[in-house]
């Protein structure tokens, strides 16, 4: 990953967090549309990029890692309260400090593992000449997906902090930790030069996690009588169309 990509990855989360605190009402209105867009893009790149890689391998147990990722994410959400998919299910009776520790525990593990897949995807791309055609062949579609996914997650994290009335320095500290975890995960894979089999297992695990997050986002999208609002539907279709440009 280039320095620019790390800046984009970290900066998008920090910027969203700061804007969420300054313009809470306006950002909240945009969050549902952005969630639909990011959820559709995330599930699309999983099918378009990650599945072809992991199922092209000779590892016949790779599907087990996909399942592990799906239910592993379900386990992490018992701590993070659903922040990963842009919603926060917080109970008012929870202790603020305990709540923050639980949310950050689930969120940092989730973000770090996604970062592992980001580094693994890039290493696999260099070895197998697998590139995106989105704007430039050097653009990593998984990076785009993670950025789009983490922007509403950062907003949801700010909502958690708003409900718990924590100090601003704690908010900034937690936001910064969340922001750097994907980059830290990517650098870990690249620095230690993970074996290709390990990378495939990581990509499979994250594929399952992405499927859980993306489908939860789309299923939780505000709807009436199983009819999705046209703005939300258009946003989801736009996410799918953008993902097709990366093929």
C-alpha 83/C-alpha 154 separation (Å) is 8
pLDDT at 223: 54
Cβ atoms within 10 Å, residue 161:
24
Among the listed residues 166, 155, 169, the one whose alpha carbon sits nearest the alpha carbon of residue 21: 155
Cβ atoms within 10 Å, residue 136:
8
24-45 helix and 196-219 helix, angle to the nearest 10 degrees? 130
Among the listed residues 70, 85, 8, 56, the one whose alpha carbon sits nearest the alpha carbon of residue 211: 70
pLDDT at 89: 58
Identify the burial level of 184 via C-beta atoms within 10 angstroms of its C-beta, where 0-12 means exposed, 13-18 middle and 19 or more buried.
middle
Give kind and range of the element (H or E) at residue 109. Answer: helix 96-128
State the Cα angle at 46 between 45 and 49, rounded to 5°. 65
pLDDT, tens digit only, all 247 positions of the chain:
788 888 989 998 888 888 877 766 666 666 778 888 988 999 999 999 999 999 988 888 999 999 999 999 999 888 887 787 766 655 555 567 777 888 889 899 999 999 999 988 887 764 554 444 444 456 688 899 899 888 888 888 887 777 676 777 888 888 899 999 999 999 999 888 889 899 999 999 999 999 999 888 887 765 555 667 788 889 889 999 989 988 7
Cβ atoms within 10 Å, residue 175:
21
To which residue do tokens 């708003």 refer?
A: 162
24-45 helix and 230-244 helix, angle to the nearest 10 degrees? 50
pLDDT at 134: 44
Beta-sheet strands, E only, within 39-184: none
C-alpha 179/C-alpha 246 separation (Å) is 25
Residues 6+ apart with CB under 8 A from 28: 155
Contact by Cβ (8 Å): 85, 216: yes
* Count of all residues that appear for the chain in the document: 247
pLDDT at 131: 47
C-alpha 204/C-alpha 131 separation (Å) is 19
Among the listed residues 47, 104, 101, 96, the one whose alpha carbon sits nearest the alpha carbon of residue 244: 47
pLDDT at 66: 96
C-alpha 236/C-alpha 228 separation (Å) is 10
């Amino acid at each position: 990953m280039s320095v620019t990509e790390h800046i984009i990855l970290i900066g998008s989360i920090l910027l969203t967090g700061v804007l969420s605190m300054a313009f809470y009402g306006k950002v909240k209105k945009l969050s549902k549309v952005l969630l639909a867009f990011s959820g559709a893009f995330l599930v699309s790149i999983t099918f378009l990029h990650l599945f072809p890689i992991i199922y092209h391998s000779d590892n016949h147990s790779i599907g087990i890692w996909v399942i592990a990722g799906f239910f592993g994410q379900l386990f992490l959400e018992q701590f993070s309260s659903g922040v990963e998919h842009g919603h926060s299910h917080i109970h008012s009776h929870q202790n603020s400090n305990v709540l923050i520790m639980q949310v950050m525990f689930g969120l940092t593990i989730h973000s770090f593992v996604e970062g592992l897949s980001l580094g693994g995807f890039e290493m696999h791309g260099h070895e197998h000449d697998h590139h995106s055609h989105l704007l430039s062949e050097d653009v990593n579609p998984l990076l785009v997906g993670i950025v789009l996914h983490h922007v509403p997650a950062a907003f949801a994290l700010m909502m958690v902090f708003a409900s718990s009335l924590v100090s601003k320095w704690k908010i900034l500290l937690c936001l910064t930790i969340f922001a750097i975890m994907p980059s830290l995960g990517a650098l870990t894979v690249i620095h230690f030069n993970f074996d290709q089999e390990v990378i495939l297992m990581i990509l499979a695990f994250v594929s399952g996690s992405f499927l859980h997050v993306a489908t939860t986002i789309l299923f939780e999208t505000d709807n009436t009588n199983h009819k999705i609002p046209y703005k939300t539907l258009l946003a989801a279709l736009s996410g799918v169309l953008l993902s097709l440009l990366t093929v």
